[in-house]
């Protein structure tokens, strides 16, 4: 069976793009993903948005899955490394503020998530750029809270904090048709997450 043109293309000589041109192309891919979702994204649409030939895209990335994965790795979200307010409450509220303001990243996850089970490269790119940084930060925040005596070292809820936050971010649009903004996420933390973490 002949592969579809959206996933594969014949191996040809690789054309070097300038870093600036590559960055522009990646940003266009991410914008199209947010607008249309992964399944509706086509190489034709990318070529039209970027004013380049489809052949150039295939020479560089061989197809849509690799192009999207590369764009996601290039477009890493804001840094979370500097969150350190001196208290668990302050740290989680600062994390909520940044998540609440990161609407473009949330839209990107929604756009790509349905296709993730079908594509290992895409799944790895999503985890590497948008999921793992948040998990790592939450682990750091909780370790500091344990060291300060705010949270018990064996607190059973600690392992579920990433799941709770992710659930809040993605459930509100489905249930209330509203974004999970900063105010909502901070209220969720105060009502649900912090009480179960600090309960003795």
What does the alpha-carbon distance between residue 20 and residue 50 come to, in Å, rounded to a whole number?
12
Assigned fold of 19-74: Arc Repressor Mutant, subunit A (1.10.10)
**Alpha-carbon distances, residue 64 vs 39, 149, 169, 198 (angstroms):** 10, 49, 27, 46
**Where in the chain are all domains bearing CATH 1.10.357?**
78-197
Span 164-196, pLDDT tens digits: 999 999 899 889 999 999 999 999 999 999 999
Q: Name the residue among 13, 1, 115 with its Cα closest to residue 64.
A: 115
Instruction: Specify the domain boundaries for CATH 1.10.10.60 within the chain.
Output: 19-74
Give the model's confidence band at 125: pLDDT under 50 very low, under 70 low, under 90 confident, else very high: confident
CATH number of 78-197: 1.10.357
């Amino acid at each position: 069976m002949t592969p579809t043109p959206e996933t594969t293309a014949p191996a040809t000589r690789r054309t070097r793009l300038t870093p600036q041109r590559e960055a522009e192309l990646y940003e266009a891919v991410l914008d199209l993903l947010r607008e249309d979702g992964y399944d509706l994204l086509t190489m034709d649409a990318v070529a039209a948005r970027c004013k380049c030939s489809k052949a150039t895209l295939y020479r560089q990335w061989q197809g849509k899955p690799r192009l999207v994965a590369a764009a996601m790795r290039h477009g890493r979200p804001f840094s979370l490394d500097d969150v350190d307010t001196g208290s668990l409450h302050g740290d989680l509220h600062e994390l909520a503020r940044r998540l609440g303001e990161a609407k473009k990243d949330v839209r990107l996850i929604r756009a790509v998530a349905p296709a993730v089970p079908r594509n290992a490269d895409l799944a790895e790119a999503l985890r590497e750029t948008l999921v793992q940084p948040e998990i790592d930060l939450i682990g750091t925040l909780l370790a500091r809270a344990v060291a300060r005596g705010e949270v018990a070292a064996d607190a059973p809820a600690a392992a579920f904090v990433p799941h709770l936050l992710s659930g809040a971010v993605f459930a509100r649009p489905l249930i209330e048709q509203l974004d999970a903004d900063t105010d909502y996420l901070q209220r969720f933390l105060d009502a649900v997450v912090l009480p179960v973490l600090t309960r003795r």
